[in-house]
């Protein structure tokens, strides 16, 4: 049985990749950060199976800022494949905490690569690079497009990408870098624009919120569906030769278009609810990201399966469903409390 080690397993991509690898017969080891509150919502359903179905999934405390924890895990687990998905992944936040972002995203990648090298493992390595590295480069962006990052996050990702290439060239590491364009899902973090929109409109529809505060509606992104993208990560590590690949849909839309489609799906008029708030504008914006993923299609046989319109529908429906269930759960709780029965300890 192959073993995989993931950083960022509690995140959006980490949760889908864990499911994908387990379904493919892997033993999966995930690194999670110590947190004062629970941070395993996205993988709790998998963890429940560990006891009931003996699913080979193991969680370990660790951190990309802590080299010794990374070295210990690599030494003890001896994985066949390492996926480095851990990151302070929010672009706007990276302007507020640039040093921490660089520590986790840039130096963290170096720590992990160096731990692999020093352990002498012959494992394959995946680096979660980002289209943010292209920044202001003219679209469409492909592997040969010169990088011009526009945020501390983009700069840190560019270091992580470059050092991955460097370890491949210097030490012969089987290290590949996926330059992934934006990908979303119902598990997307609540402060990224797509999820912020779908979560807010579900709350608006159910009458528990009235306004949605947004920044730049004119930015264009190439948005795909996250489960498709974790398949691309795995495909990269199955190639004989490590390489870099751009992964995206080849179609770009503005934030405004996402808002319009999402509100239309929920049967609401977005103009009655959306308010532009300068607080959400960035010191430097990335205006237009559009992937040319010819190489990934040709060499990996990778194709996206979900269109932009379908993605919006999936996310809107999931958030509407979640808010409705929360409200129903709250009403049940109220009814039980009124009857003198409480589910809370
Ligand atoms: P995400 O949902 O924000 O997940 C990030 C993960 O990194 C979480 O598990 C988080 O843990 C973990 N993490 C944060 N700081 C860490 C640290 N110091 N040490 C170890 N782990 C840490 O991000 P995502 O959307 O799944 O993206 C996965 C990766 O792909 C990231 O590297 C991101 O930068 C990159 N990427 C994403 C996209 C996209 O559109 N989604 C596109 C290109 C590249 P907690 O759960 O405890 O916070
Ligand atoms: O959803 P976003 O925050 O994603 P962004 O900045 O494109 O970064 C995401 O994709 C990258 C790949 O290209 C990843 F590497 C990165 O980790 C992350 O997953 O913002 C998208 C666009 C931006 O132009 C932003 O200015 O939406 C615009 N926007 C407008 N109003 C907003 C808002 N973004 C956020 N987060 N919140 C707003 O209120």
Q: What is the CATH number of the domain that holds 324?
A: 3.90.25.10
Active site includes 153?
yes
- With a 6 Å cutoff on the Cβ, whether 33 touches ligand 1 is yes
- The answer to whether residues 276 and 134 belong to one domain is no
Task: Report the separation in Å between the CA atom of 91 and the middle of ligand 2, taken as the mean of its atom positions.
Answer: 7
- The answer to whether residues 97 and 211 belong to one domain is no
Site of tokens 């700069």 = 155
CATH of the domain at 83: 3.40.50.720
Region for residue 301 given its phi and psi (left: phi exceeds 0; alpha: psi -120 to 50; beta: otherwise): left
- The answer to whether residues 115 and 213 belong to one domain is no
- pLDDT, tens only, 88-118: 999 999 999 999 999 999 999 999 999 999 9
Task: Report the separation in Å between the CA atom of 88 and the middle of ligand 2, taken as the mean of its atom positions.
Answer: 13
| Residue 294, in any domain of the structure | no
How many structural domains are present in the chain? 2
Atom 7 (ligand 1): residue with closest C-alpha? 86
Reported as a pLDDT band with limits 50, 70 and 90, residue 49 is confident
- The answer to whether residues 48 and 173 belong to one domain is yes
- With a 6 Å cutoff on the Cβ, whether 189 touches ligand 2 is no
Which of 152, 145, 186 lies closest to 284, judged by CA?
Answer: 152
- pLDDT, tens only, 8-31: 999 999 999 999 999 999 999 999
Active site includes 130?
yes
| Residue 120, in any domain of the structure | yes
Residue 338: predicted pLDDT? 65
- For the CA of 132, the nearest ligand: 2
CB 216 within 8 A of CB 281: yes
Residue 343: predicted pLDDT? 43
- pLDDT, tens only, 185-204: 999 999 999 999 999 999 99
* Helix%, strand%, coil% for the chain, nearest 5: 50, 15, 35
Active site includes 19?
no
Residue 340: C-alpha distances to residues 116, 326, 331, 334 (Å): 57, 21, 14, 10
Residues above pLDDT 70, as percent of the chain? 96
CA-CA distance, 118 to 121, in Å (whole number)?
Answer: 8
- The answer to whether residues 40 and 113 belong to one domain is yes
- With a 6 Å cutoff on the Cβ, whether 107 touches ligand 2 is no
Residue 336: predicted pLDDT? 67
Q: Is the pLDDT of residue 339 over 80?
A: no
- For the CA of 191, the nearest ligand: 2
| Residue 297, in any domain of the structure | no
Q: Exposed/middle/buried for 310, CB within 10 Å: 0-12, 13-18, 19+?
A: exposed
Structural domain containing residue 315? 193-220+252-289+307-340
Reported as a pLDDT band with limits 50, 70 and 90, residue 337 is low
CA-CA distance, 306 to 329, in Å (whole number)?
Answer: 31
DSSP 36: S
Which residues partner with 270 through β-bridges? Answer: none
β pairing state of 3-7 and 27-32: parallel
Which of 191, 162, 178 lies closest to 130, judged by CA?
Answer: 178
Of 124-138, 273-287, 330-344, least confident by mean pLDDT is 330-344
Task: Report the separation in Å between the CA atom of 89 and the middle of ligand 1, taken as the mean of its atom positions.
Answer: 5
- For the CA of 160, the nearest ligand: 1
- pLDDT, tens only, 239-289: 999 999 999 999 999 999 999 999 999 999 999 999 999 999 999 999 999
Q: Which residues of 3-19 are buried (b: 16+ CB within 10 A; e: fewer)?
A: bbbbbbbbbbbbbbbbb
| Residue 76, in any domain of the structure | yes
Atom 23 (ligand 2): residue with closest C-alpha? 219
Task: Report the separation in Å between the CA atom of 334 and the middle of ligand 2, taken as the mean of its atom positions.
Answer: 38
- The answer to whether residues 104 and 176 belong to one domain is yes
CB 141 within 8 A of CB 291: yes
CA-CA distance, 106 to 120, in Å (whole number)?
Answer: 22
Residue 342: predicted pLDDT? 44
- The answer to whether residues 85 and 209 belong to one domain is no
pTM of the model: 0.96
Residue 261, CA atoms < 13 Å, CB-side half-sphere: 18
DSSP 230-251: HHHHHHHHTSSS--EEEE--S-
Residue 51: predicted pLDDT? 75
CA-CA distance, 158 to 106, in Å (whole number)?
Answer: 8
CB 266 within 8 A of CB 202: yes
Q: Which of 19, 81, 132, 260 is catalytic?
A: 132
| Residue 299, in any domain of the structure | no
CB 239 within 8 A of CB 176: yes
- The answer to whether residues 87 and 199 belong to one domain is no
Phi and psi torsions of 304, nearest 5°: -70, 150
């Amino acid at each position: 049985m192959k073993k995989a080690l993931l950083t960022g397993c509690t995140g959006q991509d980490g949760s889908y990749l864990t499911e994908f690898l387990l379904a493919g017969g892997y033993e999966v080891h995930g690194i999670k950060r110590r947190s004062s509150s629970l941070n395993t919502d996205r993988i709790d359903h998998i963890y429940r199976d560990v006891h009931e179905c003996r699913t080979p999934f193991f969680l370990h405390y660790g951190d990309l800022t802590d080299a010794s924890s990374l070295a210990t895990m690599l030494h003890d687990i001896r994985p066949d494949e390492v996926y480095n998905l851990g990151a302070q992944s929010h672009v706007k936040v990276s302007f507020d905490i640039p040093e921490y972002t660089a520590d986790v995203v840039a130096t963290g990648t170096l720590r992990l690569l160096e731990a692999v090298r020093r352990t002498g493992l012959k494992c394959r390595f995946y680096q979660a690079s980002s289209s943010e590295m292209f920044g202001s480069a003219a679209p469409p962006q492909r592997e040969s497009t010169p990088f011009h990052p526009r945020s501390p996050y983009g700069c840190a990702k560019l270091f992580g990408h470059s050092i991955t290439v460097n370890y491949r060239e210097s030490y012969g590491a089987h290290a590949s870098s996926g330059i992934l364009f934006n990908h979303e899902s119902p598990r997307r973090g609540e402060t990224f624009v797509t999820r912020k929109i779908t979560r807010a409109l579900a709350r608006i529809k159910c009458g528990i919120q009235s306004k949605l505060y947004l920044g730049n509606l004119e930015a264009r992104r190439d948005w795909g569906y996250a489960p498709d993208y974790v398949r691309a990560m795995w495909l990269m590590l199955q190639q004989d030769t490590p390489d870099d690949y751009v992964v995206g849909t080849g179609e770009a839309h503005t934030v405004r278009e996402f808002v319009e489609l999402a509100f239309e799906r929920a049967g609401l008029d977005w103009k009655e609810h959306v308010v532009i708030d300068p607080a959400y504008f960035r010191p430097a914006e990335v205006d237009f990201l559009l992937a040319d993923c010819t190489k990934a299609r040709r060499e990996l046989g990778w194709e996206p399966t979900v269109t932009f319109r379908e993605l919006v529908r999936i996310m809107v429906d999931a958030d509407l469903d979640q808010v409705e269930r929360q409200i129903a759960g709250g009403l049940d709780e109220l009814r039980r409390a009124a009857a003198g029965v409480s589910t809370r300890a």
